[in-house]
Amino acid sequence: MTGRLGDSVWGYYLDPAELPSHIVRSEGCGGGGAAGLFRLYDEMEEKDGHLFAVLQTRKNGVLSCARKVVAASSSQRDLEVARFVEHGLQRVRGFDQSLLCILDAVGKGLSVQEILWEVRDGRILARELKSRAPGRFAFGPDGSLRFSPDNWLTLAVRNAAGDASQSGAPIAPGQALPERKFIRFTFGGLYENGHGRGLCARAYWYYWFKKNNLKFWVVFNEKFGAPTIVGKYRPGATDEDRQRLLEVIESLQNDTGVTVPEAITLELLEAKRSGNVSTYRELADWCNDEISKIVLGATLTSGEGRRSGSLALGQVHERVRGEYIESDARALEDVINTQLVRWLVDFNFGTDIEAPRWTIDTTLDEAFERDIGIDRQMLAAGVALPKRYFYEKYKRPAPLAHEPALCFDDQNLFQYHLQFGIVTVNEARARLGMGPVAWGDQPVRPSENPTKEAAVARVEKTPTKSTGDPLEQEQESEKESDNEK
């Protein structure tokens, strides 16, 4: 719907006609607009423990993955920019909690974070990300973030030193908000609906069924959970006797036994139950299963073991959940890279500098065993792979220059290759992480037929002196070969 402020059309906001119709009919939150809808989503997460748990499971699955900043290229300038961005993100106060607030859009459809910028050591950095209520915002025709027409927002005005002033700058309803000031994440937004369509909207009916089911379940337990006590007294009992009987009945709720006169009789009246008493639990379990499917895509990853399931089926369900986490991670990467990272680079290096990428590694450790088998087959087929690929793929630190490194050293490794002149001694030594020798560039002659011990000795031996004369080195090599024979 198009909103108007005076005679000027200022933008779009979410009116009751664009709200989820089933929620509007049930809760009557249309009068509150988007703000009322987001308050309902907060209430759903607060009151429904299962919905809160599965949403937290999905969000924590993303935040538990390793994160790093990757430079745009290997140039010195891009490496410098990447180090600055990584340092800038580390300086954001409570950055992990801010990421959790950004992922709140998965459940509610929209999340908005206000960036509190500061100037430190001549650089513009983000000091903190403040979570703001998404129902207070609207969107202009161009998709720009604006303030909702039924609220007022006061933004903190900061000076060049990053200090907050006591007075704020009021923003009129519908007025465009400052650029590079708010981070927004829209989940499931379609057809110019910037407020998105979160998972809470899809899980609403199951939340509603469970909420009302619980009310009747409590009444049922109160009525049929304990028998009704019936006290009988003979005709002619005084008011004092009847009052005493009521006191005895009330005391039975806590006491294990009571004494009564012979004129008083106590009986327990058992209520006759109709229907299956497990109906309420079955309905609650069914609603929980449906909510789990909506949020996690499966049930075995969140069930309580009330049903038996095969290991293979559980692994399939866990893989489906992993795909959801992978999708959320890529969406979060896009939000941080296109907004916060891009703005950090724009402010400090210029808009023409390519920004690095903030990445989330969602690879599971269980996948390494499968991948390393594939990599071995590719190497055996002659596909060349850089060492950097293996260090990054399997999350292992690469050794620094001139740093001692442990390498696989099997004495039989180059026996065949040395014997038939496939590799030289220096090539074998390089593979083992050893330095070259002056006499090791010539392949071994096949006629020499070196034994295993001799070949290994040639790889490991380093001469103490060398004149640097190639002819003298060749003569020394031949003498050593004769000695080995």
Q: What is the DSSP letter of 97?
A: H
pLDDT at 443 (0 to 100): 79
- Position 48 scores a pLDDT of 92
Q: Is residue 369 part of a domain?
A: yes
Is 207 part of a structural domain of the chain?
no
pLDDT at 407: 66
Q: Does 370 map to a domain?
A: yes
6 has pLDDT over 50: no
Same domain, 262 and 394: no
Query: For 112-157, how does the pLDDT look when each residue is reduced to its tens digit (9 = 90+)?
Result: 999 999 999 899 999 999 999 888 888 877 778 887 755 544 443 4
Instruction: Give percent of the chain with pLDDT exceeding 90.
Output: 27
Task: Name the range with the highest mean pLDDT among 280-289, 381-390, 470-479.
Answer: 280-289
14-28, 183-197, 215-229: least confident range? 14-28
Residues 12 and 312: their CA atoms lie apart, in Å, by: 49
Q: What does the longest C-alpha to C-alpha distance in the chain come to?
A: 136
Query: Is the pLDDT score of 322 beyond 60?
Result: yes
pTM above 0.75, yes or no: no
**Residue 244 and residue 98 share a domain:** no
Is the per-residue pLDDT at 262 higher than 90? no
**Do 8 and 112 share a domain, yes or no?**
yes
126-140, 171-185, 261-275, 397-411: range with highest mean pLDDT: 126-140
For 308, residues 6+ apart whose C-beta sits below 8 A from its C-beta are none
Q: Is residue 353 included in any domain, yes or no?
A: no
Q: Residue 59: pLDDT above 60?
A: yes
- Whether residues 106 and 136 fall in one domain: yes
Residue 176 has pLDDT above 50, yes or no: yes
User: Which residue in 222, 195, 19 sits closest to 107, CA to CA?
Assistant: 195
Task: Please check whether residues 430 and 381 belong to one and the same domain.
Answer: no
Are 11 and 110 in a shared domain? yes
Q: Are 380 and 421 in the same domain?
A: no
Contact between residue 63 and residue 19 where contact means Cβ atoms under 8 Å apart: no
- The answer to whether residues 117 and 147 belong to one domain is yes
Q: Is residue 118 part of a domain?
A: yes
Domain interval for residue 390: 364-398
Q: How confident is the model at residue 384 (pLDDT cuts 50, 70, 90)?
A: confident
The answer to whether residue 335 sits within a structural domain is: no
Write down the mean pLDDT value for the chain: 75
Instruction: Between 206 and 10, name the one with better pLDDT.
Output: 206
Establish if 391 belongs to a structural domain. Answer: yes
Domain contains 437: yes
Residues 261, 179, single domain; the answer is: no
**Number of separate domains in the chain:** 4
180 and 51, same structural domain? yes
pLDDT digits (tens, 9 = 90+) for 81-103: 999 999 999 999 999 999 999 99
Distances (CA, A) of 268 to 171, 228, 230, 232, 479: 68, 6, 6, 11, 111
pLDDT band at 76 (very low <50, low <70, confident <90, very high): very high
- Same domain (yes/no): 282, 382: no
Residue 18 has pLDDT above 90, yes or no: no
- 240 pLDDT band, cuts 50/70/90, is confident
Looking at residue 160, its pLDDT comes to 40
- HSE-CB at 107 with a 13 A cutoff on CA atoms is 27
Lowest mean pLDDT among 23-27, 29-33, 52-56, 481-485: 481-485
CB 131 within 8 A of CB 113: yes
Residue 14 banded pLDDT, cuts 50, 70, 90: very low
- pLDDT recorded at residue 263: 62
Are 193 and 243 in a shared domain?
A: no
pLDDT at 233 over 80: no
